[in-house]
A and B are shown apart, each in its own frame.
Chain A
Amino acid sequence: MIRFEQVSKRYPGDIAALSDLTLAIESGEMVILSGHSGAGKSTLLKLIPAIERPTQGAVVVNGQNVSALKRAAVPFLRRNLGMIFQDQKLLHDRNVFENVMLPLTIAGVPPRDAGRRVRAALDKVGLLEREKAMPIALSGGEQQRLSIARAVVARPSILIADEPTAHLDDDTARDIVAVFRSFNQVGVTVLVATHHEALFAPCMTRRVTLSHGRLAP
Chain B
Amino acid sequence: MSGSQSGGSGRNGLIALIRAAFLASALTGSLMLPASDAAGAAPEVGGSTFPTRPLFGDTHLHTGWSFDAGAFGCRLAPSDAYRFARGEEIRASSGQPAKLSRPLDFLVVADHSDNMGLFTDLLAGKPELLADRKGRRWHELIQAGKGGEAAFEMLYAFSNGSFPKEMTYSPATPSFRSAWQGEIKAAEDYNEPGRFTAFIGFEWTSNTGGNNLHRNVIFRGNGAQAGLVAPFVTIKPFGSDNPADLWKWMAAAQEMTGSEVLAIAHNGNLSNGRMFPMVEAFGKKIDKAYAETRARWEPLCETTQTKGTGEAHPSLSPNDEFADFELWDKSNLDATAVKTKGMLEFEYARSAFKNGLALEAKLGVNPYKFGLIGSSDAHTGLAAMEEDNFFGKTTPQEPGPERLTRTFAKNPLTRVKIMNWQIGASGYAAVWATENTREAIFDAMKRRETYATTGPRMVVRLFGGWDFEPADANSRTPAATGYAKGVPMGGDLSRAPQGKSPTFIAAALKDAIGANLDRIQIIKGWVDKDGTTHERIYDVAVSGGRTIEADGRCKTRVGSTVDVENATWANTIGAPELITVWKDPDFDPALRAFYYVRVLEIPTPRWTAYDAKRFGVKPLPGTVMTLQERAYTSPIWYTP
Tell whether A pairs with B. Answer: no
A interface with B by C-beta (< 8 Å): none
**A-contacting residues of B (Cβ < 8 Å)?**
none
